[in-house]
Structure 1
Amino acid sequence: MTLLTLLQDTVTSVTDTATHIAQTTAAPKQEDLRFGDLLVKGGWVMVPIGILAVLGLVIFFERYFTIRKASRNESQLMSQVRDNIHRGNLDSAMAICKNSNTPLGRMLQKGLLRIGRPIKDIEGAIENVGKIEVSKLEKNIGIIGIVAGIAPMFGFLGTIAGVIKIFYDISKTDNISMGVISGGLYVKMVTSAAGLFVGIVAYVCYHILNMMVDKVILKLETDAIEFIDLLEEPSK
């Protein structure tokens, strides 16, 4: 009797183990959350957000290298211009400025063309050229600021549109289970995350470029003052 009971317990244990293994094997494997799939599920709003991201990056790198080129050290140019002015060789000084093809070179060239006129006229001419050069450096930077402002708005728009669709589907199917609501909502919130990410990156890029431009402006103003002082030396 004891042996029979022992056999029954063994059979029951083996059966339970086999059943557990079968259930574990048959259980569907949970899908991994892939970044690319989330972007696709974000819907049509991801298209303008992606366009804004590409536009912002293209403008940033184009402006970054342009401003960086304009901010290079021009101490050699100033030294050559100073030497030629001291020797009275204005034509050579203007040729050097023209060949430099830099904002400072164009400012100094305009100042050299005004030599013989009052200092105030020379200062005004240099200042006007400086304003033009700064406006060239700031070209399209404002677009990055616009991207930083409207990208999050597109993200929120996508989320709101997704929530409206979820509740519309609930009103039609009368299915208000948490799985239906949360499953659709987390996908639609991807647009908010994407919009905020693009907006933050654009905001940082916008201020980086503005700081670079401010640095160039300060350098141009310093060199312009040095040039004016150089022109006033013979009259002292």
Structure 2
Amino acid sequence: MLFLLIDTPLTDTTHTAATQIAPAEQDLRFIDLLMKGGWVMLPIALIAFIGLVIFIERYLTIRKASRDESNLMLQVKQSILSGKLDAAIAICRNSNTPLGRMLQKGLLRIGRPIKDIEAAIENVGKLEVSKLEKNISILGIIAGIAPMLGFVGTIIGVITIFHDVSIKGLIEIGTVSGGLYTKMITSAAGLIVGIVSYVLYHILNIMVDRIILRMETDAIEFIDLLEEPGK
């Protein structure tokens, strides 16, 4: 009997403690956190989607323009050395690449001073680079705006929390901490979107810089080729 009397309260106490602890253990799901961020999460999600679309579109375009053009340069060189100017122009036109359009412009200017040919190639090159860089700057803007939007959401949340505290006239740790951690979600989301956009922005710029370097190298080789017969 003594053992039964001692064992029963212990069991009840353990069961009660477990019951009290169980409700405190709640699953913290990522989607629920995002929903608690408030209306500021909508513009953050919108600019994140816009940034992703721009990156994919620009990446595919730049990747297409960055394919190896050594074969094109070789064919143009052979045609020029063979005196087949029309064939060289046709090869450049059919390539449908930034380098091909640059060389085509230079070939159409053959017979004029070298300075004029260089200027024509340079102008076409600038146009091609501007086409490649189209909308890339928007990623840079998103990288700057997203964290600011996140901070705005957090600040609005903090203002709301302290407004409620001023009305109630007392500070409840649960209310303050609970409301604050949900509002910090906007800052975290804004920073994540900003960091990712910043990285993607520089990835595209690096790809464009490589294309520019190769275009300049091929343009110099082309001009040198045109100057050879006159030496």
Q: When the two structures are superposed, what TM-score results if normalisation uses the length of structure 1? A: 0.94
2:60 is the alignment partner of 1:50: no
SS in 1 for 2:26: coil
* SS of corresponding position for 2:11: helix
User: Which of 183, 187, 195 lines up with 1:188 in the alignment?
Assistant: 183
What is the CA–CA distance in structure 2 between the aligned matches of 1:134 and 1:77, rounded to whole Å? 19
Other structure's SS at 2:105 match: helix
CA drift of 1:26 comes to 6.0
Give distance in 2, aligned partners of 1:109 and 1:68: 22
Equivalent position of 2:6 in the other structure: 12
Partner of 1:135: 130
What residue in structure 1 maps to residue 71 of structure 2? 76
**Deviation by residue 1:197-222 (Cα, 9 ceiling, x = unmatched):** 00000011111111111111000000
Distance 1:226 1:8 in 2: 102
Q: Distance in 2 between matches of 1:59 and 1:82?
A: 37
Q: Between Structure 1 and Structure 2, how many residues are aligned?
A: 230
CA distance in 2, matches of 1:133, 1:51: 30
Identity in percent: 68
How do 1:156-171 and structure 2 match up within 5 A? 156-171=151-166
Could you tell me which amino acid in structure 1 is paired with residue 28 of structure 2?
Answer: L
**Pairing 1:224–2:219 present:** yes
Q: CA deviation at 1:184?
A: 0.3
Q: Deviations over 1:95-120 (max 9, x none)?
A: 11001000000000000000000000
Please give the alpha-carbon distance, in whole angstroms, between the structure 1 residues aligned to 2:16 and 2:152: 46
Partner of 2:15: 21
What residue number does 2:98 align with? Answer: 103
Secondary structure at 1:196's aligned position in 2? helix
Structure 2 alignment gaps of length 5 or more: none
Could you list the runs of 5+ residues in structure 1 that have no partner in the other structure? Answer: 1-6
Separation in 2, partners of 1:170, 1:161: 14
Larger Cα Rg: Structure 1 or Structure 2?
A: 1
For the aligned residue pairs, the C-alpha RMSD in angstroms reads: 1.2
Deviation at 1:25, TM superposition (A): 3.9
How far apart are residue 21 of structure 1 and its match?
Answer: 2.0
- Runs ≥4 in structure 1, deviation > 3 angstroms? 25-29
In structure 2, give the amino acid aligned to 1:143.
I
Matched letter for residue 20 of structure 1: T
Question: Is 203-212 or 106-115 further displaced after alignment?
Answer: 203-212
How far residue 12 of structure 1 moved from its aligned partner, in angstroms, is 3.0
Aligned match for 1:126, one of 108, 116, 121 = 121
Is residue 208 of structure 1 aligned with residue 203 of structure 2? yes
